[in-house]
Chains A and B, each alone.
Chain A
């Protein structure tokens, strides 16, 4: 446990550069992919590419690949709970109109700002 090489993996310069250019390439691919209309798949494609980029950054730039795996576990946990939050909330919102029509209303232009402007308390 006592010396540098044992624990600290020093990523070679070349790896960093390869990752960097892959990231740029992926950005380019995203930009191209939105030129085509895949309907609702556009966002799926965009998110897959973004997640691929994110994974590269995490594994190589942020060294998760070589690190103590507990750090990775924390990151994964955060993403899982982020997903839980968004997915369940979205499920509710999507099923909101089964019995009653409950929808956010459309605000006319120039929303009624005056009644807020004169609030005194903070």
Chain B
């Protein structure tokens, strides 16, 4: 960050450099809390998988690997466009950055659409969490053997659901960035929000990097 102040400099800081570094550390501290939030779900996952290995293997076959893999690619790509967006504000090309932000947003939409179709199918088959679990014997629904398969779907829905909420939150933030970039707020002298949202968005991607093999590719 350069010393010259932008309109976004807050006066309880000594200089913009301090402000930038503070925001970044704050964001990382926040990401720590995100990791530990998901820790709870990963823990529940690990314990129940340990207890019911066969059921997990059987139940995961009800998930659609193609859709999951597509979504992985979509999210990784959106991470790339997000990273590039930051790069382009850094080199002072906000117009190009804007295009990349819009692309990121569109990839996020794609992710949700695919997710919608996956959920749709689970509802159709009655593969639902907890007490709602009510498997139907339709030809396009596989039967699931093993102990307590409803627990698998509880975990599946809660993990992907919470992740999905993060995707939506990320989309709102990206929209906000698109708006502000369009207004010309960001230059190479000040782009902290872009970078912060970027960090958040990459975290969303990171979590999916783990969710995908854990849920879709068991055994």
Interface residues, chain A, CB within 8 Å of chain B? 1-4, 7-8, 10-11, 13, 16-17, 20, 23-24, 27, 30-31, 34, 37, 42-43, 46-47, 49-50, 53-54, 57-58, 60-62, 67-68, 70-71, 74-75, 77-79, 81-82, 85-86, 89-90, 93-94, 103-104, 106-107, 110-111, 113, 116
Contacts and interface: CB of A to CB of B under 8 A. Distances in A.
A60 to B, nearest CB: 8
A31 B212 CA distance: 10
Nearest to B211: A50
A13 B217 contact: no
A91 to B, nearest CB: 11
Nearest to A49: B213
A34 B219 contact: yes
B77 interface: yes
B114 interface: no
A20 B87 contact: no
A28 B218 CA distance: 15
A110 B136 CA distance: 12
B36 A50 contact: no
Interface residues of B, number: 55
A82 B44 CA distance: 12
A57 B91 contact: no
Interface stretch (B22-30, B103-111, B117-125, B165-173): B22-30
Contacts of B69: 27, 31
A34 to B, nearest CB: 5
B24 A71 contact: yes
B83 A113 contact: no
Contacts of B130: 111
Given A4-B188, A61-B83, A86-B46, A78 B76 contact: no
Given A3-B2, A50-B210, A61-B202, A16 B80 contact: yes
B186 to A, nearest CB: 14
A74 B28 contact: yes
B217 A106 contact: no
A93 B25 contact: no
Given A8-B1, A68-B21, A57 B28 contact: no
A67 to B, nearest CB: 7
Contact of B84 (A13, A34, A53, A111): A13
Nearest to A71: B28
Given A31-B217, A107-B148, A57 B87 contact: no
Contacts of B35: 75, 78-79, 82
Nearest to B91: A10
B2 A107 contact: no
A72 B21 CA distance: 13
B137 interface: no
Interface string B62-94: 000100010011001101101110010011000
Contacts of B198: 61-62
A75 B28 CA distance: 7
A43 B218 contact: yes
10 contacts: A16-B84, A30-B213, A31-B69, A61-B82, A61-B205, A68-B21, A82-B42, A89-B47, A106-B148, A116-B131
